[in-house]
Amino acid sequence: MEQEHLNLIQKVIKHVENAQFEEGLTCFFSNAKWMYKEPNLAKLYHAIKEIPLKYYRYSEQRLILGWLAFASGDNSVLKRLLISEDLNTVQDKTTCAGWYALKSMALFSTDYEKGLSLSKKAINLVDNKADTPMKANIYMSHARQYASLCLFQEAASYFKKAARIFELNECVFLAVSCYTNEALNIHATGNFHEVVRICGYHLRMSSSSRQGHYWELMKLPLGMAYYCLNKTGLSLLNLKSAKKAIDALELPHMHGLVEYYLFNCFMTEKDFEKMGLLVEELERRFGYLEHMMIHLVLLCMKVDYALSLNKEIQREWIDELELKGLEMAKYGHPFAVESLLRAIRMGRGNPLYLDKLKKSYTDNKEKINKEQSQAIAMEFASIYFSKKLIGEGFRYFKEAYKWYQSCGLEIGFFNREIDFLSYIGDIDNRLVKKILKYNKYIISKQNNFNYEHLTTREEEILTEMSRGKTNREIAEVLFISQGTVKWHLANIYKKLNVTHRVEALNKAKEYKIINQ
């Protein structure tokens, strides 16, 4: 919090402590715009929450109190304000629109359709009005309603509109918040390269800004995008910076998502120690909250951590994920579906629940982001391949592949283990070669080696070797020298991590590089 804001708050608190409520409110509202510039809304709310409601003589004052109560999680005050305010008596259209927007946010996790209807009313009242911070706040609320209904493009558009108005009014923190949410919603559409472009632009343009620490928040969607592009090192670098900024700015509502992607990066890198520390930290700091998203993410992380260590999972974790997870999947948050499938695949979940998870995925797969759609489809594929239901497994695998092709990301296909490549090779050997060629993280559980793409000539040499030919005979067939054959063999051994011909042939056959 900036010093001038701290000084003003201290004055307000002193007035309130002395029961000088009118003076406190006058001081607080002496410059309304400053409230939109302060990221720590809970401190603002704390300064005025003890002032009795009867002293708030103007609808706009009560509206701002309502927004602060909402942001601080004081639902009892918020409810009293929403019930008591008669919008028929509100003359100013922007203030009236602000009330509709606040009502829409109060319905945020209970009635999404009604919430969107109310926010549309608010938009209609302010569209032609001046670009004030309140108008931007209304646009931001409307964007959140679209996001809650998985209408990500529409949400991104309104977050961008809100951000520009906030920026024009020098409300930097809220502008950054909206630009960050714009990028998060674009991320949900699967356009990860666009997320990198947007975040990179804002971070470059703000590098010398006095409020540069606010812009670090944009490293959250940037880190998420890098994760989906299989650039785990860059992902970790940006996610850690984003988490540091979130902690410094005391923004509890931004926790959960950043930890989830950090956890996935650690899981990709098999860094079990850091996975465990992250679970402990999230539970210690936020385990007591009833915030649905953080609670659900924490449960998923607990389950996945236990699975990674091959430990037993507490039954209540699975029960709660089954109860709450499928409901959240309807609104574009399928974290629980992925974790429940992983538990079933590893023999720790409830296989009887598979059909419900399948229905949830089928009903909601167009809503959820591409990266999670892919991960869920891969879990289904692995389960069905393990049951020797090859056709069904391959169908889900192709669906997972399709998600990334639709994002233009065929090269960065998957960033975790695939333990069923041999099944896919029996159906489509060329596809296996393409996957192995481009994806450095795919490691076979059976053979435990990183396959580096062989050239066409190297594959030809392996094929001739499999026919029992010597180096001299291979050279004659391929019209090359014996020295060239030996040079290619050295490359083959290095790429397959082997030391002799028989071992090379065995690995090549296992991975369908050559036919049996």
Which sequence spans correspond to the domains of the chain? 447-516
- pLDDT at residue 453, as a whole number: 61
Q: Which residue has the higher pLDDT, 238 or 445?
A: 238
Residue 57 to residue 45: CA distance in whole angstroms: 17
**What's the pLDDT band for 439 if we cut at 50, 70, 90?**
low
Lowest mean pLDDT among 114-123, 252-261, 362-371, 438-447: 438-447
Lowest mean pLDDT among 29-33, 250-254, 261-265, 451-455: 451-455
- pLDDT at residue 443, as a whole number: 45
Phi, psi torsion values for 257, nearest 5 degrees: -65, -45
Q: Coil, strand, or helix at residue 149?
A: coil
Q: Which residue has the higher pLDDT, 329 or 395?
A: 395
**Stretch 1-20: mean pLDDT:** 81
Per the CB < 8 A criterion, the answer to whether 412 and 229 are in contact is yes
> DSSP readout, 158-202?
HHHHHHHHHHHTT-HHHHHHHHHHHHHHHHHHT-HHHHHHHHHHH
Residue 49 to residue 65: CA distance in whole angstroms: 8
Amino acid present at 118: L
Within a 13 Å sphere around the CA of 259, how many CA atoms are in the beta-carbon half? 29
**Stretch 423-438: mean pLDDT:** 72
Q: Coil, strand, or helix at residue 98?
A: helix
- pLDDT at residue 306, as a whole number: 94
Per-residue pLDDT tens digits for 148-196? 888 999 999 999 999 999 999 989 999 999 999 999 999 998 899 999 9
User: In the chain, helix, strand, coil percent, each to 5?
Assistant: 75, 0, 25
Six token digits for residue 163: 């951000």
**Stretch 288-309: mean pLDDT:** 87
**Stretch 258-273: mean pLDDT:** 92
The fraction of the chain above a pLDDT of 90, given in percent, is 45
- pLDDT at residue 97, as a whole number: 95
Residue pointed to by tokens 């029996």: 426
- pLDDT at residue 450, as a whole number: 44
How many residues can be counted in the chain?
Answer: 516
- pLDDT at residue 412, as a whole number: 55
**Stretch 218-239: mean pLDDT:** 93
Q: Which residue has the higher pLDDT, 128 or 32?
A: 128
Predicted confidence (pLDDT) at residue 108 exceeds the cutoff of 70: no
* Topology annotation, domain 447-516: Arc Repressor Mutant, subunit A (1.10.10)
Six token digits for residue 260: 């989830």
Using CA atoms, how far residue 146 sits from 50, 112, 164, 175, 356, in Å, is 34, 9, 18, 18, 27
Q: Which long-range contacts (CB under 8 A, 24 or more apart) does 308-317 make?
A: 308/267, 308/270, 308/272, 308/275, 309/272, 310/346, 312/348, 313/343, 313/348, 313/349
Per the CB < 8 A criterion, the answer to whether 287 and 435 are in contact is no
**What's the pLDDT band for 460 if we cut at 50, 70, 90?**
confident
Mean pLDDT of all residues in the chain? 86
- pLDDT at residue 458, as a whole number: 86
**What's the pLDDT band for 444 if we cut at 50, 70, 90?**
very low
Within a 13 Å sphere around the CA of 514, how many CA atoms are in the beta-carbon half? 21
Predicted confidence (pLDDT) at residue 366 exceeds the cutoff of 70: yes
Q: Which residues of 96-110 are buried (b: 16+ CB within 10 A; e: fewer)?
A: bbbbbbbbbbbbeee
Predicted confidence (pLDDT) at residue 339 exceeds the cutoff of 90: yes
Closest CA relative to residue 333, chosen from 304, 297, 385: 297
- pLDDT at residue 357, as a whole number: 92
Sign of CA dihedral 105, 223, 438, 452: negative
Lowest mean pLDDT among 20-29, 354-363, 423-432: 423-432
- pLDDT at residue 194, as a whole number: 95
- pLDDT at residue 337, as a whole number: 92
